[in-house]
Structure 1
Amino acid sequence: MFSERFIQYIRFEKRYSPHTVAAYQSDLDQFLLFLNPPDGTPPVLHPSEITHHDIRNWMAQQMDDGLTARSVNRKIATLRKYFKFLMQEGVIAGNPTSRINAPRIPRNLPAVVDGDKLTQMLDGRLNIRDEYIFTDNFAGLRDKLVIEMLFGTGMRLAEITGVKHPDIDLYENTIKVLGKRNKQRIIPLNSELVSLIKRYVEAKKSENFNNNSVTLIVTNKGADAYPKLIYLIVHKYLSYISTQDKKSPHVLRHTFATSLLNKGADLNAIKELLGHANLSATQIYTHNSVERLKSIYKQAHPKA
């Protein structure tokens, strides 16, 4: 099947991450099921039979099913790469996605949390019912490390679950991160984060897990951490300091970038730290900074 050849191509030749490959596979499966429904409708048997009308009809169905414009755009991006691959392989003569316009995405400001409150919580200066939020056992250290690393490095969810012990250089105080498209970047670690990593590693050794995983973040039983675990950890602790709906790992990534920008960091430097391919992806954080300035102006200026 042509879709299987494409998946093999992005997995082994392009070396896309397992997370990305799974997303592409899911998108293609959904599209091919739409073209070949089990209700007796005549199927589309060959990629050369697919037209831009088929793709537009699929887009319309996705929107009717409640998908956001951003989600539909991601699926269309999958199809663009798929048909480009088929053209390179000589399977089709033209790319039907060339006549497709992506849905317009509303420009929303990135969700962030209060950096001061987050720092107070991490420093142990914020307590609930006279009890510190992070317990001083393995699970507590692990949870605190997750929050500290996401806030202190701006890593993505898929990146933090992939960090291995050899990726951390405790002499240079840096961490090597494998980002999108298997692109590596080096991120500096602050002294408090380095100290926390050392404490966590010792606590992890003391647990005497059977599998001796080289993955840094692990479950309470020593298995490699999975995305849902990281999400639950972040949601739990952000609930102490924020009432906003979004309490995901990406919120901490946004908070990392916004904090740097508010402190005067160069936009290109933030781009490199975040692993963005283009500066345009980083520039959205300047809007958060402008909103902050407007808020300060309204509070402080007598004419506001």
Structure 2
Amino acid sequence: MASTTDGAATGPEPGKFASRKMADLTHAPGRGDDSLTVWVGRYLDLAVRGVRSTEVTGKIDRHLGRFQTWFAGGFGHDRISTVTRREVAGWREHLAASPVRTLADGRVQLMAPATVNNHLAHLSAFFTWTAVHAPAGLLPHSDPTARVELLRLPAPTPRALGDAQVRTVKNVLDRIEGFHRLTGRAHRALDAVPAVHAHARPLRDRAIVHLMLGTGLRRAEVAGLDLTQLDPADPAELRRRRVARLTGVRGKGRTSRTVFLGLDSRVALADYLEHERPSDVDGKSAALFLSASSIATRRAGGRLSPRSINTVIGEIGRIHDLEVTDAERRLGVLRPHDLRHTFGYQLSRESGHNRAELEHRLGHANDRYLRLYTNPPDDVAAGWVENL
């Protein structure tokens, strides 16, 4: 509780309550307002902002905002007391039928079941909190999200790259600077040093792909890395030493682990640290991977976002497929998790399917996902049954 100088209570400090903890709203003005807008605002102020990360806070805000818009559009009001289980189930079906984008072949991509379930989870957390803090009678139907079933998720499929695909991806990475060079007449002069586009950071992009392919790190884990976690952090030492690592990698469920770096990762990181990163450093730069300092809208300190890493990986896949004529080697859309699956399969093969090593290096102890990460790519699985 916050208090004035004479010790009188003034109410709770925003951002001090987890979503399922008690907050004293006894003296809150208009505490009986029968409005989704009012209660969503209170939930975000008291239980989300300052408690959850900025990225998660924004996601919760968007998801609850979508429910508010859908509900008010269907009923012409936003009275929270009228929300029942039927409306929550209806919103679930609305989300499941919502188009997300139109694919290149003209097909409409709908919202993924996992994304729909994520919306429902955030709505459930909101109503759980509101049921505890709202005055008696505001929710006559209790928690309307209770017993609303989640959508059934499709069986996960392996997404590891085949050995041939890995080979051509690494070939593209070896030549990545050439894809970003300026080709105008002034830049083709014999005495001119090859220049790249102002925002391009090919050495950084190569280091990110090699790191994810050689460690299985998730995109959020890569975005969260600081330079101080790299041991050694000196480029010359990275090239010389055979044992280098990233310490304290923060994963899901508040886990932390150490990952070792292979030769490709060490060399790529050394090149980036020596030739590109110094030009992007400012007084707040702690992150290992930085966005270009020439970007006006970059984050304070320059830390890349997980979405930026999606873009980096996707662009490498696009360049790869422009170079490859063999349909069997084409990647389609390359995603960060494809690199994680590839690492999981290759580590399983090289370690003799050592379960303890897989759990430790992948940072995921769930059997279901361990089996998924260690499934072979299609060309390997097809080869096993070719002559049976």
With structure 1 as the length reference, what TM-score do the two structures score? 0.80
Asked if structure 2 preserves the Cα contact closer than 8 Å seen for 1:121 and 1:133, the reply is no
> Residue 33 of structure 1 corresponds to which residue in structure 2?
69
Q: Does 1:3 align with 2:40?
A: yes
Q: How far has the Cα of 1:36 moved from its partner?
A: 1.8
> Residue 56 of structure 2 corresponds to which residue in structure 1?
20
Q: Percent identity?
A: 20
Asked if structure 1 preserves the Cα contact closer than 8 Å seen for 2:280 and 2:290, the reply is no
**SS at 2:248 equivalent:** strand
Q: Which runs of 5+ in 1 are unaligned?
A: none
> Residue 43 of structure 1 corresponds to which residue in structure 2?
77
Distance, in Å, in 2 between the alignment partners of 1:271 and 1:12 is 32
Distance, in Å, in 1 between the alignment partners of 2:69 and 2:217 is 35
> Residue 86 of structure 2 corresponds to which residue in structure 1?
53
Q: Does 1:283 align with 2:371?
A: yes
- Number of matched residues? 290
Distance, in Å, in 2 between the alignment partners of 1:104 and 1:35 is 24
Question: What is the root-mean-square deviation of aligned Cα atoms in Å?
Answer: 3.2
Distance, in Å, in 2 between the alignment partners of 1:34 and 1:275 is 38
- Structure with the bigger RCO (C-alpha within 8 Å, sep 6+) is 1
Distance, in Å, in 2 between the alignment partners of 1:281 and 1:3 is 34
**SS at 1:186 equivalent:** strand
When residues 206 and 278 of structure 1 are mapped into structure 2, their CA distance, relative to the original with a 3 A threshold, is closer
Distance, in Å, in 1 between the alignment partners of 2:207 and 2:60 is 31
Distance, in Å, in 1 between the alignment partners of 2:40 and 2:116 is 19
> Residue 237 of structure 2 corresponds to which residue in structure 1?
none
With structure 2 as the length reference, what TM-score do the two structures score? 0.64
When residues 197 and 133 of structure 1 are mapped into structure 2, their CA distance, relative to the original with a 3 A threshold, is closer
Larger Rg: 2
**Hey, which of these two has a bigger chunk of helix by percent?**
1
**SS at 2:276 equivalent:** helix
Query: Superposition pairs for residues 1-304 of structure 1, below 5 Å?
Result: 1-8=38-45, 9-13=47-51, 16-37=52-73, 41-46=75-80, 48-65=81-98, 66-89=110-133, 94-119=142-167, 121-122=169-170, 126=171, 132-134=175-177, 139-170=201-232, 173-180=245-252, 182-204=254-276, 206-207=278-279, 209-211=281-283, 213-221=285-293, 223-239=302-318, 240=320, 242-263=329-350, 264-276=352-364, 278-286=366-374, 288-289=375-376, 294-299=381-386, 301=387, 304=388
Distance, in Å, in 2 between the alignment partners of 1:69 and 1:134 is 39
Distance, in Å, in 2 between the alignment partners of 1:159 and 1:84 is 30
Moved more, 271-280 or 62-71: 271-280
